[in-house]
C-alpha cells in the first residue's frame, strides 16, 4: 500500500497542494488535514506514516513566522507527535513548517522534548528573499537526504536565518550529523549574500533531529519536482534539442526536489 501522508493545513498555509502533489508524484498517498481537525481528533495522526508541515504564512506570521502554529503543536499535540516519531513516523517541515518545528522545540530535538534550542530569525538583508539557491547536502542522519550531495531549490521567506541558542547547540548539530542542508558556492564554501539569502549561521538551510526521521528546511523542494520549473531549464532544453538523440517529454523531466519526497516514501515502504 502507498504510505499515507498527513499534509497539515491552517490559516495562511499556501503550499499544501504543491506539497501533496510532490508526495503523490513520489508514490505516496497525501491527505490535507486542518490543524483544528487534528486537535479535535489527535488520534488521526496514528493513521499516517508521514506528517508534513508545508510552507506558507501560517496565521499571517503575526507574532513571528510559525510561532502560533508552534504553540498549537506544543500545547495540544505533544504526546501524539512524540508517540508518532517514536513509532518510526517521519516529519517534514518546509519553510514555515520548519519555522514551526524549531519554535515548538521539535527540532533540533537534542535535549528534552519541546525545548527550544534555536530560532529562524529575520533575514540579515531586512527583506523578503525569493530566489534560487545552490545547496550542499552534508553526510547527515536524515532519511530525507539519502543519496543526495547537491541540488538547487528556490527560497521564499523573510525569517529564514538559522541561529542556534549557543555554540554548544551548534557543536552538537555538527557532531550528531544533524546539519542536512547548507547554502554553498561552486568551490564548496559558505557563501555571502545572496548565496546565503538569510545570513544563516554557517550557511545552514536545513537540519534533522538525532533520529534522522524529522527534517526541517527553508528551501522549497516541492517547487522543483519538474526540471522545467528551474529558471535555466528552457536554455538547457534548447541546447539539448540541437544535439543528436531524443528527449523525454518536457513536462516529465524530474526536478531535483522530488528526491526529498521519494526518499521519505521509500523509507516508509
Residues of the domain holding 160:
4-268
Q: Which of 173, 13, 192 lies closest to 100, judged by CA?
A: 13
The structural domain count of the chain equals 1
Predicted confidence at residue 31, as pLDDT, reads 98
Report the chain's C-alpha Rg in angstroms: 18
Q: Could you list the pLDDT tens digit for every one of the 269 residues in the chain?
A: 899 999 999 999 999 999 999 999 999 999 999 999 999 999 999 999 999 999 999 999 988 999 999 999 999 999 999 999 999 999 999 999 999 999 999 999 977 778 999 999 999 999 999 999 999 999 999 999 999 999 999 999 999 999 999 999 999 999 999 999 999 998 778 899 999 999 999 999 999 999 999 999 999 999 999 988 998 887 776 776 666 665 555 557 899 999 999 999 999 99
Catalytic positions, written as ranges: 95, 220, 222
| CATH number for the domain harbouring residue 67 | 3.40.50.880
Amino acid at each position: 500500500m502507498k504510505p499515507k501522508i498527513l499534509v497539515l493545513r491552517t490559516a495562511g498555509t499556501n503550499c499544501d497542494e504543491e506539497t501533496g502533489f510532490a508526495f503523490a508524484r513520489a508514490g505516496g498517498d497525501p491527505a490535507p488535514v486542518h490543524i483544528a481537525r487534528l486537535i479535535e481528533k489527535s488520534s488521526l495522526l496514528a493513521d499516517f506514516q508521514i506528517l508534513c508541515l508545508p510552507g506558507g504564512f501560517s496565521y499571517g506570521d503575526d507574532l513571528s513566522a510559525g510561532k502560533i502554529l508552534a504553540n498549537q503543536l506544543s500545547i495540544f499535540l505533544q504526546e501524539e507527535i512524540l508517540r508518532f516519531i517514536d513509532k518510526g513516523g517521519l516529519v517534514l517541515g518546509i519553510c514555515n513548517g520548519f519555522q514551526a518545528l524549531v519554535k515548538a522545540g521539535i527540532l533540533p530535538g537534542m535535549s528534552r522534548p519541546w525545548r527550544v534550542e534555536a530560532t529562524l530569525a529575520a533575514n540579515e538583508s531586512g527583506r523578503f528573499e525569493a530566489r534560487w539557491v545552490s545547496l550542499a547536502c552534508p553526510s547527515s542522519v536524515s532519511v530525507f537526504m539519502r543519496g543526495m550531495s547537491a541540488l538547487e531549490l528556490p527560497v521564499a521567506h523573510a525569517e529564514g536565518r538559522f541561529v542556534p541558542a549557543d555554540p554548544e547547540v551548534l557543536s552538537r548539530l555538527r557532531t550528531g550529523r544533524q546539519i542536512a542542508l547548507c547554502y554553498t558556492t561552486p568551490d564548496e564554501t559558505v557563501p555571502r549574500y545572496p548565496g546565503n539569502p538569510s545570513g544563516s549561521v554557517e550557511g545552514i538551510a536545513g537540519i534533522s533531529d538525532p533520529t534522522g526521521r524529522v527534517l526541517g528546511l527553508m528551501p522549497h523542494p516541492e517547487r522543483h519536482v519538474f526540471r522545467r520549473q528551474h529558471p535555466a531549464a528552457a536554455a538547457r532544453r534548447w541546447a539539448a534539442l540541437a544535439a543528436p538523440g531524443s528527449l523525454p517529454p518536457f513536462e516529465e523531466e524530474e526536478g531535483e526536489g522530488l528526491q526529498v519526497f521519494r526518499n521519505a516514501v521509500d523509507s516508509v515502504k
